[in-house]
Amino acid sequence: MKKNLLLVLGFTFAFGATAQVANKHSLKLENRPILTVKDMGSYYNFSKDNNNFTAKAGGDVIWSEDFTNANGWVFDNQGQTAANTGWDTVTTTRSWATQYNIITKKILSTSGGNFLEVVNGKIIISGSNQTSDSPIDVIYTATSPSITVPNPNVTVRFLQYGALFNDSQTMEVSVDGSNWIEVFSNNDRKTQEAYANPELVEANLGLAGLPAATTSIQFRFKFTSRITGPTATNPMAWLAMGWMIDDIDVVENYSSDLKLQEPLVTSAGVRYSKVPAAQGHEVAVLNSALNNGIDTLTDVMSYVKMTTPTGESIDTLAGNPLLASYLVDSIVHSFNLTDLGTYKVSDFGAYFDGTDEVPENDTSSYSFSLDFGGDIYALDLGGTPSEYDYENENLEYRVGNVFDMYADAEVTGIDIFLYASGNVKSTVGNEIYGAVREYQGAGDNPILARTENYGIFATDNNKWITLVFEEPVQLYQDATYLATVETYGSGNTGANVYDMVIGFSGESLRGSSLAYYASGSTTQWYIAGTGGTPMVRMNFTPGLVSTSNLNESLKVNIYPNPAKDAAVVDYNTAFDGNVTVSVVDLSGRTVYTNTFANQTAGNNKVELNTSDFNAGVYQVVINANSSTVTKKLVIR
């Protein structure tokens, strides 16, 4: 069970009630990569790799450290001497995050005993206010002694544990003690989510381009903040959950080692889980193999299992005939969405003409599925939300996903999932709306159309709801749009007040899920949840829309609104038939319902006696001619 954390604009956050999943914060937006089948090979940064690695007899260990003594290590903590700041060797963590069950007390390393750790201050909670005592403008480093190596073809392996917050966690290497090259980073990971305990990390220094004559190295672990600009003056921008390191080895690289990187499935930089039948297109599948050894590899081959609605096959493609040491061969498989149904890619692998000394890293268990057909366009994976995001400061909040159009279409609604667990749930009665925006990345993302306001019911918790446009919104081929759910806040303040809580499910490619927070004088679009996917979808189902023109089947107006003793429901129907009018309170209880039989087409009125209704917000639901219109009614 984790306490729920949220960072807004990179430095403010709130704790809510204990829940079963953790929410995420948002990082300042970088434009999403627009990838095509032809240019996907440049997508990856290969300096980081967390795949498991088993040492063999040929992978000689040159140097080891388990921090029993930490001889020769230099800690530069920039003069900070408080017990909860800087690098130190410890037997149990100094982090405040243990009291919120985010991380546990120690890294479960093989050696046990002492381990290396960095922290920077603690969280301070006073009522609904949160701050920290974190020193700002600090760079803490823990530098190894000089290590003799036969050449630069070595790998540094270590175990790590902890979690990322607003901090930067990197490792650098140097051959002269003055110039440093970054060879590993945790900074693209999910925040506020504990790493595996322990997690094995490899940093192949052969990828760093060290001089061929290298005979000694030093490496250092480095802590600072990822936050820049005006918000970096807030101590919250420097708060850390802690980073623990133990059992470091420096080993010689293998001569012959092809290593598979994490595969990538993408439609021009977006990874969809559902694609409407009208939006068929080519989906690229990138399989990347790194020459992780010293020798040049010949005749690299890539394969992936492709499952389509019509069958399955192993797609095999030739890669680089000569793959030099420490280079990556990015081989692009693809499939076209033509037949309706489920598509899946799995069983990734690569091989070359020769003997691989580490064959266990030649394959990947990664798989991905998407559904083609129907009227829903989605990035999220559905099911039970794995995380959530929210705004609880009674300010403007928007969150959603990027969608590319492969054919002209009319969107009729925005589907959203309202998450709830314990006290973490949307404020009943708070008004939200769906929107379609022109996608401009970190720009304004101007609004093109929005739905009417929708007042949240208590019965909406942990459900999909559809926010309906008054008229179909025309979207155009080759254009990119941002679909969002938005709120201006509930007007309520205090502990456990969450204006709108949106579920997250699955991982999105960086920049394809966005959030917007208005906090004080600062407004900015951000990458939502550092890779998580908001459960916000486009709905193209015909007939969802109640149009505002004279040919619509049902048009409704309510006045006065707010009302006291009476309200008039004025409705215009296109056809003769029965009309049912219901009034539902925010708990989902129907407080009034009546069916008016044989209503003639045209304008009709029903007067509601509201004098016995409690003051508050209600929904008036009108059903006629297979059409439904919901209007908000406020009773004073």
The secondary structure of 123-143, three-state, reads: EEEECCEEEECCCCCCCEEEE
Q: What is the arithmetic mean of pLDDT over 436-444?
A: 88
**What's the one-letter identity of residue 563?**
A
Handedness of CA 451, 452, 458, 459 (dihedral sign): negative
For residues 483-506, average pLDDT: 86
- Mean pLDDT over 567-583 rounds to 87
pLDDT at 314: 97
Amino acid (1-letter code) at residue 541: T
* pLDDT at residue 577, as a whole number: 86
Q: pLDDT at position 393, please?
A: 60
Per-residue b/e over 607-621, b at no fewer than 16 CB within 10 Å? ebebeebeeebbbbb
Q: What's the farthest any 2 CA atoms get from each other in the chain?
A: 93
562 bridge partner residues = none
- Say if residue 183's pLDDT is above 90: yes
Q: What is the pLDDT of residue 18?
A: 28
Contact between residue 144 and residue 64 where contact means Cβ atoms under 8 Å apart: no
575 or 623: whose pLDDT is higher? 623
Residue 386: DSSP 8-state: S
Kindly state the helix (H) or strand (E) to which residue 526 belongs, with its residue range.
strand 522-527
Give the span between the Cα atoms of 122 and 237, in whole angstroms. Answer: 12
Contact 634, 562 (CB under 8 A): yes
Query: What per-residue confidence (pLDDT) applies to 555?
Result: 75
CA separation for the pair 482, 488 (Å, rounded) = 18
Residue 209: CB atoms within 10 A of its CB come to: 10
* Mean pLDDT confidence for 407-416: 97
224-261 burial, b at 16+ Cβ within 10 Å, e below that, comes to bbbbeeebbebbbbbbbbbbbbbbbbbbbbbebbbbbb
Output phi, psi for 216, to 5 deg: -150, 150
Angstrom CA distances, 310 to 273, 313, 340, 495, 535, stand at 19, 10, 9, 54, 29
User: Is residue 19 pLDDT above 60, yes or no?
Assistant: no
User: Is there a contact between 240 and 134 (Cβ–Cβ < 8 Å)?
Assistant: yes
Task: Say if residue 17's pLDDT is above 50.
Answer: no
For β-strands 420-421 and 513-519, DSSP reports them as unpaired
d(CA 30, CA 440): 11
Rounded CA-CA distance 206/296 in Å is 13
Lowest mean pLDDT among 194-208, 244-258, 613-627: 613-627
3-state secondary structure of 121: coil
CA dist 606 and 407 (Å) reads: 43
pLDDT for 238-279, tens place per residue? 999 999 999 999 999 999 999 999 899 999 999 999 999 999
Does the pLDDT value for residue 322 go beyond 70? yes
Please count the other Cβ atoms lying within 10 Å of the Cβ belonging to residue 271. 18
At 405, is the secondary structure helix, strand, or coil? Answer: coil
- First vs last Cα of the chain: how many Å apart? 41
> For residues 154 and 287, what is the distance between their CA atoms, to the nearest angstrom?
25
Share of the chain above pLDDT 70, in %: 87
CA 91 centroid distance within chain:
33
183 in Cβ contact with 157 (< 8 Å): no
On the 0-12 / 13-18 / 19+ scale of CB atoms within 10 A, 493 is exposed
The least confident of 17-21, 394-398, 609-613, 621-625 is 17-21
pLDDT digits (tens, 9 = 90+) for 373-385: 999 999 999 998 9
9: left (phi over 0), alpha (psi -120 to 50) or beta: left
Confidence at 54, pLDDT banded by 50, 70, 90: very low
Query: Both tokens of residue 223?
Result: 């802590």
267: DSSP letter: B
The full DSSP string for 328-377 is: EEEEEEEEE--SSEEEEEEEEEEE-SS--S-GGGSEE---EEEEE-SSEE
The yes-or-no verdict on residue 37 having pLDDT over 70 is no
Amino acid 531: pLDDT: 62
Asked if residues 224 and 168 have their Cβ atoms less than 8 Å apart, the reply is yes
- The amino acid at residue 511 is G
pLDDT for the residue numbered 545: 52
Residue 604 neighbours by CB under 8 Å, 6+ apart: 570, 571, 572, 573, 579, 596
For 167-275, where are the E strands, in sequence order?
167-174, 181-185, 199-204, 216-225, 243-252, 258-260, 264-266, 274-275
Q: Is 346 exposed, middle or buried (0-12, 13-18, 19+ CB in 10 A)?
A: middle
Dihedral in degrees, nearest 10, Cα atoms 83, 166, 229, 77: 30
Residue range 455-489, pLDDT digits in tens: 888 888 899 999 999 899 999 999 999 999 999 88
Q: How confident is the model at residue 33 (pLDDT cuts 50, 70, 90)?
A: very low
Q: Is the pLDDT of residue 333 over 50?
A: yes
Length of the chain: 636
Distance (Å, whole) CA 563 – CA 327: 71
At 465, which helix (H) or strand (E)?
strand 463-475
Q: What is the pLDDT of residues 509-521, one digit of tens each?
A: 888 999 887 755 4
**Where residue 529 falls among pLDDT bands split at 50, 70, 90?**
low
Helix residue ranges per DSSP H, 584-629? none
For residue 553, pLDDT over 90 is answered with no
| Assigned token pair, 268 | 């021009």
Q: What is the pLDDT at residue 135?
A: 96
For residue 392, what pLDDT is reported? Answer: 61
Q: Is the pTM of this model over 0.85?
A: no
The CA distances from residue 325 to 52, 62, 501, in Å, are 20, 21, 48
Most confident of 55-64, 108-117, 619-628: 108-117
What is the rounded average pLDDT of the residues 130-157?
A: 95
Categorize the per-residue pLDDT at 14 as very low, low, confident or very high, splitting at 50, 70 and 90.
very low
Q: CA 486, 489, 495 angle in degrees (round to 5)?
A: 125
Rg of the chain taking only CA atoms, in angstroms: 28
Task: Work out the mean pLDDT of the chain and round it to a whole number.
Answer: 86
List the structure tokens of 541: 């189902």
Residue 365: strand pairing partners = none
Residue 631: beta bridge partners?
Answer: 620
75 or 550, which is more confident: 75
482 touches 525 (CB < 8 A):
no
DSSP per-residue codes, 150-164: SSS-EEEEEEEEE-B
Q: How confident is the model at residue 395 (pLDDT cuts 50, 70, 90)?
A: confident
C-alpha to C-alpha distance for 632 and 610, rounded to whole angstroms: 14
pLDDT of residue 128: 53
